[in-house]
Chains A and B, each alone.
Chain A
Amino acid sequence: MASLKDLRNRISSVKATQKITKAMQMVAAAKLRRAQTAAESARPYAQRMESVLGNIAAAISGGPDAPLLLTGTGKDDVHLLLVLTAERGLCGAFNSSIVRLARERAVSLMNQGKTVKIFCVGRKGHEALRRQFEKQIIEVVELRANKGVTFADAQAIAEKISAMYHAGEFDVATQFFSRFQSVISQVPTGQQLIPATFPEQAEPAAGAAAIYEYEPDEAEILADLLPRNLAVQIFKALLENGASEQGARMSAMDNATRNAGEMIKKQTLTYNRTRQAMITKELIEIISGAEAL
């Protein structure tokens, strides 16, 4: 049986832990708000980009001079998996669910006899994948030094990827990240980047029915915009990931704080019981000693 002193120590250590998890939860809540606004304010750009590109792509696709980024290489032998994860842990199943999705895809592709290459963004994903896929990981980018994600980060990643693509190092690229739905629900998602895909437009946007005039011509605009679109898609994924990470951390830390509270309650109960038992024991000793006289 633990002594009173042990119990006291245990309670105070759990209390200290609870303070930390509580603080982390509050920090995550504040960061979540910022990450969410960042993700929301990036949305208009990505949407407009998508709609304009969709318009142009629909007009030009199938043409002989359609750029490679849109049409693909015509093969799907080598797959590049871009795995976007966080730099830090202690955020529940956030990192592991993204990694699990990517790992499942990688294994199923390898079973089909395809070659898989992995591009890790974020330390946690690299740590989790490097045991199983040591040979497949070709590139690791850590964003630890940066405070928030900037468009320049996404652009640097996009440039690396398109350079690899033009060097013929892979045929299909897919990115894995966590889509932010709400604080308690983040959905790990895989999105194909290359060849570019556009959501089907239910109805052409107002004015799209009219024929646009392009300056310079469509092919050149497309060649200019597709690499930008790559960067925009990655940027969007990074921002969604940022919001998801904070959301996941917030709920994980909320749980941890609650568990610590329960643990403190239980320990305090045991502590009080032990203390009372000791007092009773001492009393009995004194009384029986007095009676013996």
Chain B
Amino acid sequence: MANFPFELVSPEKLIYSGSVSEVVVPGTEGEFGILAGHSPFVSTLKPGVLTIRGDGATKKLFVRGGFAEANPQGLTVLAEIAIPLEEIRPERLAQMIKDAEEDVEDAKDEVTRAKRLVMLEALKSASAAIQADGHTAH
């Protein structure tokens, strides 16, 4: 399979940079896989698991907040938080979910409430997926 350059950047540092064959990105409107030579495309991210398939082992990272920009030259994902699944702790996820729940309750109008609810759901499903993944790995 053809490879293409991929970069995962967080505000603090460049997390991943290299040649990969496929990346699955959790987009706001659903997950999408990017292969080499994708047409120009920009999407925002929802909290979820980003999967990198390269020549070596598959890498999975939890990402949150940001966007992905794909074009025929390659793919760039800008995420506010990006943690490899091996390093993420269940307490951290639980804390995030709790914060999101509080955000939903604090929302003043319907629109923000709905938005935050979507965020919370995405977080919950991501956390469930991560835990399931952890079980199969052990």
Listed in ascending order, the chain A residues whose CB lies under 8 Å from chain B are 38, 41-42, 44-46, 48-49, 52, 56, 150-151, 154-155, 206-208, 210-216, 220-221, 224-225, 228, 231-232, 235
Contacts and interface: CB of A to CB of B under 8 A. Distances in A.
B40 A213 contact: yes
Contact of B42 (A46, A221, A231): A221
Interface stretch (B51-59, B66-74, B129-137): B66-74
Contacts of A44: 7, 9, 14
A206 B40 CA distance: 11
A214 B103 CA distance: 27
A239 B81 CA distance: 18
Nearest to B32: A215
A221 B40 contact: no
B67 to A, nearest CB: 7
A151 B12 contact: yes
B19 interface: no
B43 A214 contact: yes
Given A207-B71, A207-B72, A228-B65, A216 B41 contact: no
Interface residues of B, number: 26
Q: Tell me the interface secondary structure of chain B in the complex.
A: strand
Contacts of A220: 44
A130 B40 CA distance: 50
A216 B32 CA distance: 13
B13 interface: yes
Pick the 10 closest A-B CB pairs, nearest first. Answer: A207-B71, A41-B13, A215-B43, A151-B11, A212-B40, A45-B9, A210-B40, A213-B41, A45-B11, A224-B44
Interface in B19-65: 27-29, 39-44, 65
Contact of A45 (B44, B65, B71, B78): B78
A221 B13 contact: no
B78 A48 contact: yes
Contact of B44 (A38, A154, A211, A216): A216
Nearest to A214: B42
Contacts of A211: 40
Which residue, of B11, B14, B80, has the highest number of chain A Cβ atoms within 10 A?
A: B11
B123 to A, nearest CB: 16
A215 B27 contact: yes
A212 B13 contact: no
A128 to B, nearest CB: 29
B108 to A, nearest CB: 11
Given A215-B44, A216-B44, A228-B65, 16 more contacts: A41-B14, A45-B9, A56-B42, A151-B11, A207-B40, A207-B73, A210-B39, A212-B41, A213-B39, A213-B40, A216-B43, A221-B67, A224-B67, A225-B44, A228-B80, A235-B11
A235 B44 CA distance: 20
B3 interface: no
A38 B12 contact: yes
